[in-house]
Structure 1
Amino acid sequence: MNRAAENARSARWNLWLGAGTLAFVALCLFVWFPRDIGSGFLQQNLTGRTVPGDSFFPVLLIGLMVPLAVLLIVAQIGARSGKNGEVVGHIGLRNLLFLAQMVVLTGLGLLVMDVTGPALVWATNAVGLSEASGYRAVSATFPFDVSGFFVGGTLLTCGYTFVARHRLRWRDVLIAVVTTAVLIGLFDGLLNDIQLPPNADI
């Protein structure tokens, strides 16, 4: 198969994947979620506070798929001849290695997320800045409650960037730090009923 035929097949895969993702999003938002999820995106609890409803996280997850699908379609339509990127539709050893790297990196990031809080408590106790009996006692106190998510989330973002681009710049690290901080501000600051990992397991 020549290069032109491979590029044409790659274009079909990318376009169908992008269009299929958008169709799945529409199915979820207009058919599946309204029929299956009891409450809306936001709701008021018994005390009158606005809290995330049952559809909050499903809608948030589905919403993140939209820009990815649009970017895939736009990039493929606007690609110049001979610059369609890596041919898709064939799984090789490099693909499996990439997947294995992502799995290992995700596991490492979750492990760091889990141990950072207790490690911070131990360090602050050791230098006399705190007298906590353990992480459970301060798991709702800043900065202990967000330390694991911040360090682990930043590590994951930097790691994913390095694996995908094969390099990591200081600007990438700064973007990872700011992005993780924004997520903390959103879920821990504005949505008080949301517990950042790993606090929900304590």
Structure 2
Amino acid sequence: MKPRPVETDAGVPSGGRWNLWLGGGTLVLVALCLFVWFPRDISSGFLKKSLTGNTIPGDAFFPVLLVMLMVPLALLLIVGALRAGQGGGEAVGRVSLQNLLFLLYASLATGGALVLMALGGPLVVWVSNGMGLSDFTSYRAASGTFPYNVSGFFLGGTALSACYIYITRRRLRGRDLLVSALSTALLILIFAGLLDNIQLPPNADL
């Protein structure tokens, strides 16, 4: 019997060049933000001194942090495209129904996680009051007390990470939930523990 021919992606356009251009364009955008846009549009710097003499994040802190997170992603795209060589990279086809469903699931997961983030804190306070562990009159009264002030962000952030993992891998294991919880806890430690004058959502809207 003759062996079956091996299926290849011949004739399917490659995404290597697209990844290279996307990574390079992202680096150009980062440079424009850091050296042109932010210096002209943002009054204070990355860090500043408060009236009490404490070092707190300035107006440029979060914008700079956001664009700097784009740098390693852009470098990964560029390095991956260069290593693959000419015509390398993932096969690129037309937008399919699966692509649209992926975007729909991601949008629903994001929206649901944000709702949980907004309602999680009041829910934790309500359960705590019902169990006799606290006697807060409202979530506003508990918004300055740990762990109630970070409970909504923790629940919503953990749910968001877990949902993204499930959408991407089509399964969710116990270690995935642990990674989601630990990564969210790390964000809480950085923004609520190490940095002053920062309110995690939804506390800033109270």
Shared fold by TM > 0.5? yes
Q: CA–CA distance in 2 between the matches of 1:77 and 1:172?
A: 31
Q: CA offset at residue 37 of structure 1?
A: 1.1
CA deviations 1:148-194 (Å, max 9, x no partner) are 00011011001111111222232222221111111001111112211
Question: In the alignment, which of 71, 77, 80 is matched to residue 76 of structure 2?
Answer: 71
Aligned-partner Cα distance in 2 for 1:125–1:194: 26
Deviations 1:68-89 (A, max 9, x none): 111122222223899733416x
Match of 1:27 in 2: 32
Give the conservation status (yes or no) of the 8 Å contact 1:39–1:55. Answer: yes
CA distance in 2, matches of 1:181, 1:124: 20
**In the TM superposition, what whole-angstrom CA distance separates every residue of 1:100-133 from its partner, at most 9, and x where no partner exists?**
1111000100111111111111111111111111
How far 1:30 moved relative to its partner?
1.3
In 2, the alpha carbon distance for the partners of 1:28 and 1:95 equals: 30
Which of 131, 134, 153 lines up with 1:127 in the alignment?
A: 131
Q: Is the 8 A contact 1:7 1:84 kept in 2?
A: no
The CA distance in 2 between the partners of 1:86 and 1:104, in whole Å, is 27
Does residue 46 (structure 1) correspond to residue 33 (structure 2)? The answer is: no
Q: Does the aligned pair in 2 maintain the 1:113–1:153 contact within 8 Å? A: yes
Partner letter of residue 6 of structure 1?
V
Cα contact 2:16–2:84 (8 A) shared by 1: no
Range with greater deviation from structure 2 (141-150 or 32-41): 32-41
Identity fraction in percent: 56
Return 5+ residue gaps in structure 2 as ranges. Answer: 1-7
Q: 1:114 aligned to 118, 125, 128, which one? A: 118
Displacement after TM superposition at 1:97 (Å): 1.0
Q: Specify the SS of the correspondent of 2:12.
A: helix
Where does the alignment leave 5 or more consecutive residues of structure 1 unmatched? none
Question: C-alpha distance in 1, partners of 2:22/2:11?
Answer: 18
Q: Which residue of 1 aligns with 2:4?
A: none
TM-score by length of 1: 0.91
1:103 is matched with which residue: 99, 103, 107?
A: 107
- 1:75–1:169 CA distance, 2 compared to 1 (3 A): farther
2:17·2:81 contact (CA, 8 Å) conserved in 1?
no
Query: TM-score, normalised to structure 2's length?
Result: 0.90
CA contact (8 A) 1:109 1:156 kept: yes
Aligned length: 199
Higher-helix-fraction structure: 1
- The whole-number CA distance in structure 2 between the counterparts of 1:164 and 1:75 is 20
Post-superposition offset of 1:13: 1.1
**Aligned twin of 1:164:** 168
Does the 8 Å contact 2:16/2:90 carry over to 1?
no
**Bigger Rg over Cα:** 2
